[in-house]
Amino acid sequence: MSGPNVHRDARHMALAQVGAQGQERIAAASALVVGVGGLGCAAATYLASAGAGELCLVDFDAVDATNLGRQVLFGPGDIGDAKAAIAADKLAQQNPAIRIRAITDRLDESALREAVAKAHVVLDCTDNFATRFQVNDACVDAGRCLVSGSAIRFEGQLAVFGPDYSGSPCYRCLYTEADESLLDCAGNGVFAPVPGVIGTMMAVEALKFLAGLDSPRGTLRLYEAGSGNFHSVNIPKRPDCPACG
Ligand SMILES: [Zn+2]
């Protein structure tokens, strides 16, 4: 991977909060994006354009016609092809200076843990609790910052966890296996730009973390697209949490 580019990254380096030092940290960092759907397309696009040095995109799914309304890296010609591979190709054209790896196999637990341990920040852009819990547990055990997002109907959610879980909550402090029925995108529908809003906010939080900026931890931010309102609630740490308790 190469360092910051004085032209491409100029507007970041002009920011007092980022500067050359922050951009060097971003350029030296590795981000793992698990799930390249509506959230992952938006998050990965900004991580790539902002010069995150190494991106690893994980998705075993193929592009489907029902994805095209909101998964903005894909077009009709991509239907049937592996999402992670298509996204990696398009983002490599967007920013040839970064390294992008696509994992198109279904990761077992040990492969997922290995991928998490190699990353500085992990973005959970998946759509099911089983994978979300696995990603969370790997982040807690490896001490990695986890940026978690979700979008369904007109609602979006965003939270940042870790990398120090000793005094702050994890994703399992928020949800348990009993909540499984909450997420069903196909059945409930999703308003197209909502995953884009949340995925973009996930990139904001991941890039802030990589640049060394502060970010609220253990706070759940909720976006309600119907009213256009955001609000935040604190996530208490569960003393009996199976992952971080
Ligand atoms: Zn926990």
**137 C-alpha vs ligand 1 centroid, how far in Å?**
9
**243 C-alpha vs ligand 1 centroid, how far in Å?**
5
**171 C-alpha vs ligand 1 centroid, how far in Å?**
6
Average pLDDT, integer, range 68-90: 98
- CA dihedral (139, 238, 151, 128) in degrees, to 10, reads 60
Res. 140: pLDDT tops 80: yes
The pLDDT assigned to 179 comes to 74
Res. 182: pLDDT tops 70: no
Could you tell me where the beta strands, DSSP code E, fall in 104-170? 121-124, 145-152, 155-161
Contact 190, 32 (CB under 8 A): no
Average pLDDT, integer, range 212-219: 89
Contact 231, 205 (CB under 8 A): no
The pLDDT assigned to 4 comes to 83
Among 19-33, 41-55, 128-142, 180-194, which stretch is predicted with the lowest mean pLDDT?
Answer: 180-194
Query: What predicted TM-score, i.e. pTM, was given to this entire model?
Result: 0.96
170 is catalytic: no
Which structure tokens are listed for 191? 């308003």
Mean pLDDT of the chain: 94
| Predicted confidence (pLDDT) per residue in 28-77, tens digit | 999 999 999 999 999 999 999 999 999 999 999 999 999 999 999 999 99
Which structure tokens are listed for 244? 């971080």
**239 C-alpha vs ligand 1 centroid, how far in Å?**
8
| Predicted confidence (pLDDT) per residue in 27-39, tens digit | 999 999 999 999 9
The CATH fold assigned to 10-152+195-214 is Rossmann fold (3.40.50)
Gap between the Cα atoms of 27 and 98, Å rounded: 8
Res. 2: pLDDT tops 80: no
The pLDDT assigned to 188 comes to 87
Selected residue with higher pLDDT from 181 and 155: 155
**240 C-alpha vs ligand 1 centroid, how far in Å?**
8
Domain boundaries, the chain: 10-152+195-214
DSSP element (H, E) containing 138: helix 129-142
Contact 143, 127 (CB under 8 A): no
Average pLDDT, integer, range 167-176: 93
**169 C-alpha vs ligand 1 centroid, how far in Å?**
5
Helix axes 19-27, 193-211, angle to 10 degrees: 110
The residue assigned the tokens 């348990």 is 176
Res. 1: pLDDT tops 90: no
Confidence of residue 3 (pLDDT cuts 50, 70, 90): confident
Res. 180: pLDDT tops 80: no
Which structure tokens are listed for 172? 């399992």
Distances in whole angstroms, Cα of residue 39 to Cα of each of 47, 151, 167, 192, 213:
12, 8, 28, 11, 22
Q: 56, 139, 185, 241: which is the annotated catalytic residue?
A: 185
CB burial of 19-37 (b: ≥16 within 10 Å; e: otherwise) equals eeebbbbbbbbbbbbbbbb
**175 C-alpha vs ligand 1 centroid, how far in Å?**
9
